[in-house]
Amino acid sequence: MSARNTNGAMEAKGTAGHYVEVEGLVKLFGNDRAVDNVSFSVPKGKFLTLLGPSGCGKTTTLMSIAGLHTINAGRISVGGMVYTAPADGLFLPPEKRDIGMVFQSYAIWPHMTVAENVAYPLEIRKVAREEIDARVTDVLKLVGLGQMASKLATQLSGGQQQRAALARAIVSRPRLLLFDEPLSNLDLKLREQMRVELKRIQHEVGITSIYVTHDQAEALVMSDEIIVMSKGRIQQKGGPREIYARPVNAYVSNFIGVANLLKGHVTAVTAPGRGVVEVSAGGRTVQMPCLLGKDMSAGAEAVISVRPENVEATRQNGGGPSLEGEVIQAIFLGNCVDCRVRWGEFEWKVMAHPRAGLKTGEKVYLRLDPEHTLAVLP
């Protein structure tokens, strides 16, 4: 790594825990709080994903870090260097931030060849010609475009443009990599392949990355950490497994994967983190033993969240507590059967094993494992 291009990023090693720090970020569009008091940090070398539906503020947060717009309040710093802090009147223009960014449209300049595109950040940094050539060749090989250097950007396919954009973003070994939904324009097959590859390359170059997407599968596959956002606020931050297995509220539960959500309230706390929630649907009332969310006490409003694969459906009542319902839809998907089971007014989504042999119109018994039944905030 050539020292003069890293802008002293090495010196920030000591603060490995908080490489990227975003504190109290607020961005207004008119009266609309696009980002509303968002704070998080990313350890050096890690891959963080901002996940949420369009309009949740994830791209605005990314643009704020990039410096492509100004913010109204808060403080953003990377490796001890303050990027922006309106309270102190600080704003570092985007070109001074030493960031590599991959855009949704790839933004490969159509009037240049692939090699010229990738060489551009190095030319701006006044790197010597021979070194530029060597590094461009290396990075193109890394992203799998070794043979494409002299092609015009317009001659590349979508996936290849994507790789070129990635090469351009990492060639100067920036302090930080930003990704703005880079895979959303690719078709499904290519997208799945690129997820893995992008993660591999990021891991190889070891640059701290922040990734924005609305695709929860993408987030689960690629991230070290995920932040789920909604309406400009952070809903939950955690590792992929944690976010999926222990969502804190109904919103996250529903956004990450599929969940059966029933409103109720906590009737008893049986052990630390465990308790009973009473739910009622269409005149039926059931006490469900479950895992309680943080700080939930008796009488609190709660939503029961159960993943479809965690609902066991059988045709015989094998004893023990179970819910009696009727199969109203059963779609065979090969490795499983996607069922809808009517229970009172509520329709359970159930992923049943094909061997269970569920058929539309049949009576069925649903059994819930308390270890996989969560009480979350409404």
Partner 1 sequence: MSVQTAAADIARQPTSSRWRSLVTQESVATLVVSVIVAAAVILPLFTLVVSSFQVLDSGGFDTTWGLDNYRTLFTDRVIPKAFVNTLVISAGSTVLATFFGVSLAWINARTNSPGRDRMEPFNLIPFFLSPFVGAIAWHNLAGGKTGLLNSWAREYLGVHGNLLNVDNIWGVIWVTGLFFSPLVYLFVVGSLRRMDPSLEDSARTTGAGLLRTARTVTLPLVAPGILSGAIIVFVTSAGEFGVPFKLCAPYGWQTLTTQIFSKAVGDDANQYLGAAMSMALGVITVFLIWIQQSYIAPRSFTTVTGKGFRPNVIDLGRWKWLAFAFNFSFIMVAVVLPIFCLLVVSLHPVWQAEIIPSDLTLHNYVKTLFWWRPDHIQAATNGIYNSFILAFLGATIAMILSLVVSYMIHRTKGFGSRLLDFLCVVPVGFPGIVLAMGVLVTYIKTPIYATLWIILLGYITRFFPYGQRNVSSVMLAISEELDQSSRMAGASWFTTLRRITIPLLKPGIFAGWVLLFIIFLRELSMSIILYTSGTETLSVGVYYLTNYENETLTSALSMSQTVVLLICVFVFRRVAGREALTA
Contact set with partner 1 (CB under 8 A): 7-9, 11-12, 66-68, 77, 79-82, 88-101, 103-105, 107, 109-111, 120-121, 124-125, 165, 168-169, 172, 178
Q: In 10 A of CB 128, how many CB atoms?
A: 10
- Cβ distance to partner 1 smaller for residue 45 or 94: 94
- Cβ distance to partner 1 smaller for residue 104 or 184: 104
- Name the 3-class secondary structure at 26: strand
Minimum distance between the CB of residue 247 and partner 1, rounded to whole angstroms?
Answer: 33
Q: How far is CA 320 from CA 182, 316, 327, 333, 369, in A?
A: 49, 12, 20, 30, 11
- Name the 3-class secondary structure at 157: coil
Minimum distance between the CB of residue 207 and partner 1, rounded to whole angstroms?
Answer: 14
CA distance 66 to 60: 10
CA nearest to 9, candidates 78, 92, 63, 76: 78
CA nearest to 172, candidates 123, 130, 137, 212: 123
Q: How far is CA 255 from CA 9, 39, 70, 185, 260, in A?
A: 36, 21, 29, 21, 12
Cβ–Cβ under 8 Å, residues 255 and 243: no
- Name the 3-class secondary structure at 152: strand
Minimum distance between the CB of residue 175 and partner 1, rounded to whole angstroms?
Answer: 9
- Cβ distance to partner 1 smaller for residue 10 or 196: 10
Name the one residue in this structure whose structure tokens are 């839809």.
329
- Cβ distance to partner 1 smaller for residue 169 or 296: 169
- Cβ distance to partner 1 smaller for residue 81 or 300: 81
- Cβ distance to partner 1 smaller for residue 62 or 368: 62
DSSP 229-259: EETTEEEEEE-HHHHHHS-SBHHHHHHSS--
- Cβ distance to partner 1 smaller for residue 78 or 337: 78
Minimum distance between the CB of residue 221 and partner 1, rounded to whole angstroms?
Answer: 24
